[in-house]
Amino acid sequence: MSGDGGALRRAMRARDPGEEHRTATPLELLFDLTFVVAVAQAAAGLHHELAEGHLGSGLGGYVAVFFAIWWAWMNFTWFASAYDTDDAPYRVLTLLQMGGVLVLAAGIEDALTDYDFTLVTIGYVVMRVALVCQWLRAAAEHPASRPATLRYAAGVALVQAGWVGRLWLPDDLAMIGFAALVVAELAVPLWAEARGRMTSWHPGHIAERYGLFTIIVLGEVILATLTGVRAVSSEHGFSAPVVLIAVGGLLLVFALWWLYFGGAGERLPSLRVALMWGYGHYLVFASIAAIGAGLEAALDVGEHHAHVSERAAALAVAVPVALFLLVLLPLQRLSGAGAAVHHLLIGTGAAAVVALGFAAPETGLGGAVLGMGLAAAAVVALCVAADHRRA
C-alpha cells in the first residue's frame, strides 16, 4: 500500500492485522528521524543537569519531557499500524505531526532548566490536533471501527485540553496535574478499545517499529559519547579514563542491543499484552537515552569539568543500565521470549552494574564504566552459552 509513491486520495480502511511482510514504511522512518532531535535534546539537557549536580530537578524534568516524546511517537505508531493509507492527506497530517515534534524539541531546554512547559505543550498540541484529524478521518471512512476511532479522537482531544489547562496550575499543583494527565493518557487506548471492534494493529509491525526506535536511541548514546570524548580531548587530549569510558560505553550499547533483540519477538497475542509491552518501552527508551547523558557526565567528571563526585557520575551510568536490564525481564515474559536462565543472568548483571557504580572511587571512574561494559558483555556471553547448551 505504500510502495506506489502515495496516491492523491484513497479511502482510509483498516489494514489487515495478518498481512504478510508488513514492515515500516519510508514515511515512518522519516517520522522517526524528527524524534532523533527530541531525544538528543532531552539527553543533552539531562547531561547538563547531572554535570551541575541538579539531579532531582533535572531528573524530574527529563521524566516529564520524555513522556511527551514517547507518547507522541507511540500514538502515531499504533495509528499507522492500523490505518496507514499513505495518500496525500495522510502524508500532510504526518508532516504536521513532525513539525510539532520539532517545536516540542525546541522547548525541552526551558522545560528541564526552568520547568517551563509552554513550548513543549504547544508542540504537543500541534501533534495531537493532527492525530485527532487522523482518527476522525478513520471514523468517517471506516464505519466498522467507528466507535473505537471516535473514542480515540474524543479521548485524545479531551486529555490534550487538560495539558493546555495545566499551564495555568500553580507550581504546587503542577506535578499532581502532570501525574493525573499521564494516567488519563494511558487510559485512553484501554477505553477506546474496550467495546466493539478493535483497531487492526499488526503485531509484527508494532514489534519492528519498537525495535527500530530502540536502535535510534542506542545510536543517540553513541553520538553523546563521541560528543563528550571530543569535548574533553580537544582541551587535554586523550587520557586513560576517557578511553576506558569510551570503550565501556560502546560495550554497553552493543550488549544492550544484543540482549534486547535476543528477546524481541512478534508474540503479542492480545491487546492487553501488547499495550503493557508497549507501555514498558517508556522505561526502555528513557533509560537508554539517560545512559548517553550519564556517559557524557562521566567524561566531564573524569576531566574535572563537572560538580559531582566520581561515584555520582558512575551511578548516572549504572542506574539507567540496571533499569533497562530490569525492565527487559517483564517485557520478555510478556512477549514469551527469553528463558528462565536469561532472567537470572540479566538480574545478576543489573546488580553487578550498580555495585560497580558504587565502587567507582576505588576502581576509578574509567575502570567502573569499563567494568559495567564488561559485565553486560558477560551477561550476553552467558546467555548465548545457555542457548547453545539448550539447543
Confidence check: pLDDT of 199 > 90: no
Task: Look at residue 3 in the predicted model and tell me its pLDDT.
Answer: 46
C-alpha cell at 49: 543537569
Confidence check: pLDDT of 320 > 90: yes
Q: How many CB atoms lie within 10 A of CB 223?
A: 14
C-alpha cell at 117: 512547559
339 or 222: whose pLDDT is higher?
222
Q: Which amino acid is at 274?
A: A
pLDDT 10s digits, 47-62: 888 888 888 878 888 9
Percent of the chain exceeding pLDDT 70 equals 94
Percent of the chain exceeding pLDDT 90 equals 62
- DSSP string spanning 275-343? HHHHHHHHHHHHHHHHHHHHHHHHHHHHTT-SSS-HHHHHHHHHHHHHHHHHHHHHHHHHTT-S-HHHH
Query: How sure is the predictor about 266, in pLDDT bands with cuts at 50, 70 and 90?
Result: low
pLDDT 10s digits, 114-156: 888 999 999 999 999 999 999 999 999 998 889 999 999 999 9
Task: Look at residue 2 in the predicted model and tell me its pLDDT.
Answer: 45
- The model's pTM: 0.91
pLDDT 10s digits, 93-113: 999 999 999 999 999 999 888
Distance of alpha carbon 13 from alpha carbon 140, whole angstroms:
10
Domain boundary assignment for the chain: 26-192, 203-390
Indicate left, alpha or beta for 169 from its phi (over 0: left) and psi (-120 to 50: alpha). Answer: beta
